[in-house]
Amino acid sequence: MKKVIKFSALFLPFVIMSSVIIASGLIGLKVRGINLGIDFQAGFIQKVRVAPTAFSLSYSGSQSVSVSQTNSGIEFVMTGIGGSDNQTLSFPYAQYPDVASFAAAASAVEGVNVAVKAPGDTPVKGVFPDSEVSSRLDADPYAFHYVPADAAPISSDEIRGVLAAYPDASVQVLGKSADRAFQIRIKDDGSDVNANANIRAALKKAFTAAYGADNFAVIGADFVGSRFSKSLSTQAIWLVLATLVLIWVYATIRFRWDFALGAVFAVMHDALIMITFIVWTQMEFNSITIAAILTIIGYSINDTIVVYDRIREIMKLRPDLQITDALNTAQSEILGRTIITTVTTMLAVISLFVFTTGDMKNFAISLIVGMISGAYSTIYIASAFINFVSRFRKDKGLLRERPAKLAALGELV
């Protein structure tokens, strides 16, 4: 028989520790607030890079020409009058690695004009367009931007100075400071029905005044109205509450009410631990974060149910065993399974954290925190609650079948 670990000896200290951590998160939520993403906070988010123009394209021919940038190169899609004679011209990075070679090849296309402003040896793979400019070429220049190797980094404080008209704007550096990329978030109080267009225009005016019209590019933008944001927040709260109620109903039917409440407290503990982590790290709280919390709730309840099955089995096989001893025995026997399952799952999650960026990286780190908390809460939260409640039960936490079991054993003897 495996050695029985006295997990129960640490029930009270770890419950106190968890309570302190969660309390710190609630205090942090009051003091620091939560870094709400655009999904839950009405407003406008724009990602901007301060970067000069590498080259610009214009077209003066009779066809319709649109340009796109892929992982392998730059492409022209040319459509004749009436939608006939479609043609795609590709300029792979491997064949045209720098601005000079690309410009020479693109200029050979009839009607296409290329104006080069960057050094000829600038890598084409590193250029990027402005996402708010139409990719269809015409007489107006369509610019591709780049960050020069010798460009001085720009601080978030400098960008806040540019946005002096929006003193409450949130500015976050994306990547390294040398990338000169920033995420700007501006709240919408709902008073301006044309907030989306007006904020976009105001930001463009501010950056043009600070750096010039050709020296910055918008690489992404999102806008969520106040009504939609409030609706989404309400739906997220109801979704989590409904999940907890369904877990309680399921566990009550399969086990009993104290087991069910222990499971609910365990998953609530995991969700609150994740929120505490998010509050103190100021990681963006968005729909991806809700997905991570719901994923951890599912993972945690699965681990808890497996342990509950083992506890119930031990209580049936050894009806004379006190509930505390049954909990220790079940947890000891299932500990190897819990560790192996958690570690193997975390290997995939750690890979996501290492090899991804942005929201997926935040999703992965949230899962890592939640999985560690889930394994811990099964042992020291759910079991601690069952052990505590057993003190007030008439049967001291033993199964109701105990007298029948003992009577059957007596008859056999």
Q: Which residues contact 385 (CB under 8 A, 6 or more apart)?
A: 258, 261, 262, 265, 266
65 compared with 1, residue with greater pLDDT: 65
Confidence bin at 9 (pLDDT 50/70/90): confident
Q: Which is it for strands 87-92 and 112-116: parallel, antiparallel or unpaired?
A: unpaired
Secondary structure of residue 187 in the 3-state scheme: strand
- Tokens for 283, please give them: 């990681």
The residue ranges of every structural domain in the chain are 7-39+228-412, 43-224
pLDDT band of 16, cuts 50, 70, 90: very high
Phi, psi (rounded to 5 degrees) for 91 = -125, 80
Unique residue bearing structure tokens 């590193």:
126
Question: Which strands form 217-224's sheet, in the order they lie side by side?
Answer: 170-174, 181-187, 43-49, 217-224
Q: Would you tell me the crossing angle of helices 358-377 and 323-355 to the nearest 10 degrees?
A: 170
Amino acid, single-letter form, for residue 310: R
Mind listing the pLDDT tens digit for each residue in 303-323? Answer: 888 888 888 888 888 877 788
Which position has the higher pLDDT, 255 or 83? 255
Average of pLDDT values for 73-95?
81
pLDDT tens sequence across 262-300: 888 998 999 899 989 988 988 878 778 888 888 888 888
Model pLDDT, residue 85: 67
pLDDT digits (tens, 9 = 90+) for 175-209: 888 889 998 888 776 677 787 888 888 999 999 99
Whether the full predicted model's pTM is greater than 0.75, yes or no, is: no
Question: What are 118's strand-pairing partners?
Answer: none
390-407 pLDDT per residue, tens: 877 665 555 544 444 444
Looking only at the bridges linking them, the beta strands covering 53-59 and 142-145 are: antiparallel
pLDDT at 38: 64
Alpha carbon distances (Å) from 221 to 127, 176, 181, 230, 356: 19, 20, 13, 20, 21
pLDDT range class, residue 412, cuts 50, 70, 90: very low
pLDDT at position 75 is 92
Is pLDDT above 70 for 81?
no
Q: How far is CA 378 from CA 86, 134, 188, 381, 399, in A?
A: 61, 54, 42, 6, 20
Structure confidence by residue, pLDDT tens digits, 94-141: 999 999 999 999 999 989 999 999 999 999 999 999 988 889 999 999
For the cut 90, the answer to whether the pLDDT of residue 224 exceeds it is: no
Q: What was the pLDDT predicted at 402? A: 47
Q: How far apart are CA 57 and CA 80, in angstroms?
A: 19
Amino acid at site 396: K
Residues 322-358 have pLDDT tens digits of 888 888 888 888 888 888 888 898 898 999 888 887 7
**Candidates 1.10.260.40, 3.30.465.10, 3.30.160.270, 1.20.1640.10; correct CATH number of 7-39+228-412?**
1.20.1640.10
Q: Beta-carbon neighbour count of residue 31 at 10 Å?
A: 8
